Amino acid sequence: MARTAATLPAGNRITDFVTVGVIARTFPLDKVREILAETGRASRRERDLPAHVMVYYVITLALFMNASCREVLRCLLEGVRWLSDGGAALKVTTKGGITQARARLGYEVMQRLYEDAVKPMATADTKGAWFKGRRLVSLDGSTFDVADDPALEAEFGRPGAGHGESAFPQVRIVSLVESGTHVVFATKMAGCNIGELTLAKEVISAFGAGMLCLADRNFLSFDLWEQARQTGADLLWRAKQGRDLPEDERLADGSYLSRILPGDHRKRHMDGIKVRVIDYRLYGLADAEPMYRLVTTILDPAEASATELAALYHERWEIETVLGEIKTHLRGARIVLRSKTPDLVRQEIYGLLLAHFAIRGLMHEAALKADEDPDRLSFIHAVRVIRRKIAAFGCVPPSAEICAA
């Protein structure tokens, strides 16, 4: 049976759904054109779908994972006249034409836009973003299911399952998330056969002085800790209970000073890296583990007590919420990415990350105006508002003052 193309609900126009104004304000057209020129992807002749249109299309596509690619394009072009140079109407081309235009664009433009534009955005007034003057960030990874296609399986791999193999090939990402604003920055991606520790080594270059990074126990290794520590950032990572952390000095708050030793026993003559260890229990929780162990670069209890750091570590779960925003509320639960080539898969993932950043930027502005913690605002509600508020933006260039209203 032929598959019926998914469309938006009958009777609704782009003015009810897509707010390209929010996206264009976050990623201005001048910046998009600059990146297109620098990457050699700018359109060299008139086409139905010029490269700058496709950049906004890929981001908009992330807002409507359940709609067909032609339906999303139709809605985009109906509401946004400024995308057309000279004011001429742009055509809603065929599905094949859209795929060809996406292929011409490639993923490098979207990657460059992401790396240039997506940064931590918390200000001094952002509630929940800071701990004793340090910007809170979290490190973690996740995976995306992609189409069950031989080319994608060859490129990204297919994870094992309890009985055989997973139903779909997968792409792995590792990212940093700004805890207070939920901004996902410094993302690296690879096939699922590449481990999180390997990708984390590429992400750590985004660390810096003034940050305090939270991470789960799977990331704690001698080499990764040393690489992260050298950036000047402070660290608060969980350790596995069996980790060799000898007690060198017991401190007044119950924590103790220790050393992280290299895993290679031939190097055990080294002094190791000096750290502070915090052991604690959670009482009254049925599923709590017998003991939790944290390791930190903050060696002086006067700067941050063991109790404060144990309470703070649970902010790490914010990153689980953030990944849920992208994988459940944007992409949709149990939805496989629509792209069928490796480059377009990467392009689609960057589109999701860029769309999420635009939404989170709007929410951060709203939180600052209301003097609220951004965590108290509903991501789902923000997505719904963005999808229906194009009326104030759609026919006006993103440089116009109305876009900042």
Q: Which two tokens stand for residue 24?
A: 């264009």
pLDDT at 93: 84
pLDDT at 181: 95
What is the H or E stretch that residue 260 is in?
Answer: strand 256-260
H helices within 118-260, ranges in order?
150-156, 196-203, 222-229
The ranges assigned to domains in the chain are: 118-322
Q: What is the pLDDT of residues 197-216, one digit of tens each?
A: 999 999 999 999 999 999 99
**Given a cut of 50, is residue 402 above it in pLDDT?**
no
pLDDT at 212: 98
Average pLDDT over residues 16-30: 71
Give the separation between CA 243 and CA 222, rounded to whole angstroms.
11
Measuring CA to CA, how many Å separate 171 from each of 68, 127, 303, 337?
22, 33, 40, 10
Average pLDDT over residues 296-325: 93
Sorting pLDDT into bands at 50, 70 and 90, what band is 399? very low
pLDDT at 394: 44
64 CA to centre of own chain:
18
Mean pLDDT rounded to a whole number for the chain: 85
pTM: 0.86
The one-character DSSP state at 3 is: P
Q: Which two tokens stand for residue 314?
A: 């649970």
pLDDT at 25: 85
Give the separation between CA 353 and CA 110, rounded to whole angstroms.
10
Measuring CA to CA, how many Å separate 369 from each of 127, 236, 292, 386, 388?
12, 31, 38, 18, 21
Q: What is the pLDDT of residues 74-124, one digit of tens each?
A: 877 765 655 665 555 667 788 999 999 999 999 999 999 999 999 999 999
Q: Which two tokens stand for residue 33?
A: 């054109």
Sorted by sequence, the CB contacts under 8 Å of residue 369 that are 6+ apart come out as none
pLDDT at 1: 42
Place of tokens 């104030």: 392
Give the separation between CA 116 and CA 353, rounded to whole angstroms.
13
Average pLDDT over residues 248-260: 96
Taking alpha carbons only, the member of 235, 239, 237 closest to residue 212 is 235
Contacts of residues 128-133 at CB distance under 8 Å and 24 or more positions apart, as own/partner, are 128/179, 128/180, 128/373, 128/374, 128/375, 129/178, 129/179, 129/180, 129/181, 130/180, 131/212, 131/304, 131/312, 132/303, 132/304, 133/210
**Are residues 368 and 125 in contact, defined by beta-carbon separation less than 8 angstroms?**
yes
Sorted by sequence, the CB contacts under 8 Å of residue 222 that are 6+ apart come out as 260, 261, 262, 263, 272, 273
**Are residues 176 and 138 in contact, defined by beta-carbon separation less than 8 angstroms?**
yes
Please count the helices (runs of H) and the strands (runs of E) in the chain: 13, 12
Dihedral sign from CA coordinates of 305, 307, 309, 315: negative
Give the separation between CA 95 and CA 72, rounded to whole angstroms.
11
**Given a cut of 80, is residue 239 above it in pLDDT?**
yes
Taking alpha carbons only, the member of 196, 171, 159, 161 closest to residue 341 is 171
pLDDT at 133: 96
pLDDT at 232: 97
Sorting pLDDT into bands at 50, 70 and 90, what band is 393? very low
Higher-pLDDT residue of 392, 335? 335
Indicate the burial class of 37 (C-beta count within 10 angstroms; 0-12, 13-18, 19 or more): exposed
Question: What percentage of the chain has pLDDT greater than the value 70?
Answer: 82
Average pLDDT over residues 192-200: 96
Average pLDDT over residues 136-161: 94
Sorting pLDDT into bands at 50, 70 and 90, what band is 323? confident
pLDDT at 241: 82
Q: What is the pLDDT of residues 27-37, one digit of tens each?
A: 998 999 999 99
